[in-house]
């Protein structure tokens, strides 16, 4: 089991260290930083008790939702209601908790610098968030309307990989094209929700 976990950490180290390299870190320094982030995610997961979740938790959720387990039904139905397919739910919840936290960390690493840049340019916090959400998907609890509401509210993390695949299919080099498509929407989330409703995403 330990060998499997080591292999998973190596894969994550390989994938996410590219972020640090892209902002000027050497390969050696980048890998050191991502190992530190992985360790922090693992420590947080353990502290919060999430590391106790069983392996293949996504499979467990889907199976037990069918059996009427209240917790499983709540998680699965919320995800489905907000566009997640069963395969999205399975893939997301079958990850280790530290993997999920690492994914959220990575998401924030892209959003936060852009947010601070907009604030430095003189935008208020509200306007900076609004502008940021026109360019980037915003994930979280879809029932959380403290920052955004309606079709702009957070997308479930369960669909993040599917959204990324959609972006890749369009081509990251053509991200301007995606922004152009979403220009007439209140946010990237509203655009993504409509693309899911159409069956395009």
Question: What are 109-168's pLDDT values in tens digits?
Answer: 878 888 888 889 998 888 888 888 888 888 999 999 988 889 999 999 999 999 988 887
**Does residue 194 form part of some domain?**
no
Query: Is residue 61 in some structural domain?
Result: yes
Which residues touch 118 (CB under 8 Å, ≥6 apart)? 127, 128, 131, 132
Answer whether residue 70 is part of any domain.
Answer: yes
Tell which wins on pLDDT, 64 or 179. Answer: 64
Residue 67 lies in a domain: yes
Give the Cα separation of 74 and 89 in Å (integer). 12
Instruction: Give a yes or no: residue 6 inside a domain.
Output: no
Would 184 be classed as within a structural domain? no
Looking at residue 1, its pLDDT comes to: 47
Selected residue with higher pLDDT from 88 and 53: 88
Pick from 4-8, 80-84, 124-128: least confident: 4-8
3-state secondary structure of 201: coil
Q: For residues 189 and 178, is the Cβ–Cβ distance under 8 A?
A: no
Contact criterion met (CB below 8 Å) for 168 and 201: no
At residue 40 the predicted structure's pLDDT band, cuts being 50, 70 and 90, is very high
Other C-beta atoms lying within 10 Å of the C-beta of residue 94? 15
pLDDT for 3 beyond 90 = no
In a domain, 47, yes or no: no
Q: What is the pTM of this model?
A: 0.85
Please name which of 78, 100, 44 lies closest in space to residue 154, comparing C-alpha atoms: 78
What is the mean predicted confidence (pLDDT) over 168-196?
Answer: 79
Range of the domain at 78: 53-94
Asked, for residue 147, whether it belongs to a domain, the answer is no
Answer yes or no: is pLDDT of 23 > 80: no
Average pLDDT score over residue span 69-78? 96
Number of domain units in the chain: 1
């Amino acid at each position: 089991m330990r060998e499997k976990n080591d292999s998973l950490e190596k894969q994550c180290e390989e994938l996410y260290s590219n972020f640090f390299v892209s902002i000027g870190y050497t390969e050696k320094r980048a890998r050191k930083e991502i190992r530190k982030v992985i360790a922090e995610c693992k420590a947080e997961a353990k502290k919060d008790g999430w590391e106790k979740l069983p392996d293949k938790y996504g499979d467990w959720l889907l199976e037990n939702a069918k059996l009427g387990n209240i917790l499983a039904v709540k998680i699965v139905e919320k995800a489905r209601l907000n566009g997640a397919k069963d395969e999205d739910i399975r893939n997301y919840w079958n990850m280790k908790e530290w993997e999920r936290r690492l994914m959220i960390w990575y998401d924030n690493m892209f959003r936060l610098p852009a947010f601070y840049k907009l604030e430095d340019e003189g935008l208020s916090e509200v306007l900076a968030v609004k502008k940021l959400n026109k360019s980037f998907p915003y994930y979280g609890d879809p029932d959380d309307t403290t920052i955004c509401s309606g079709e702009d509210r957070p997308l479930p993390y369960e669909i993040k990989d599917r959204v990324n695949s959609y972006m890749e299919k369009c081509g990251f080099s053509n991200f301007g094209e995606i922004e152009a498509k979403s220009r007439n929407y209140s946010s990237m989330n509203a655009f993504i929700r409509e693309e899911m409703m159409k069956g395009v995403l």
